[in-house]
Amino acid sequence: MTRDRNVSIFEGLRYQGGGPQTAWLLHRISGLGIVLFVTTHILASFLGGDLGKLFNAVYISWWFQIFIIFCALFHGINGLRITLLDLWPKLLEYQREAIWVEWFVILPIFGVAIIVILNTAVGG
């Protein structure tokens, strides 16, 4: 069936999917980011030692905190949108509007988080 799709990654990126495609792509990237973070975090807390210290040094850095807070926020809120619309399929007609609402929720929280993280990083 759909096993032999010959779509390259560049053709895929040219697909004009708009908001829903952006949400799909970011959901995928943020999900992988969280899996990577939680896996290394569990291993670091289990192993300890130099490797654990190395992982912890990465978590403490401001750029990683900004990245992971975006992953968690976007994945959580976009996932809530997917869950609600999938479990009540009648709402799927309003998918684009739901994605706009989502950004209105995510961006202010993310902005505040960036300010807090940078303040802490600069101010100590």
Q: Is 58 exposed, middle or buried (0-12, 13-18, 19+ CB in 10 A)?
A: middle
46 binds other proteins (CB under 8 A): yes
CB of residue 91 vs other proteins: minimum separation in angstroms?
A: 11
Report the nearest approach of other proteins to the CB of residue 78 (Å). Answer: 10
How far apart, in whole angstroms, are the C-alpha atoms of residue 57 and residue 35?
A: 18
Q: How many residues does this entry show for the chain?
A: 124
The stretch near other proteins (CB under 8 A) out of 13-21, 33-41, 96-104 is 33-41
Nearer to other proteins, 28 or 100 (CB): 28
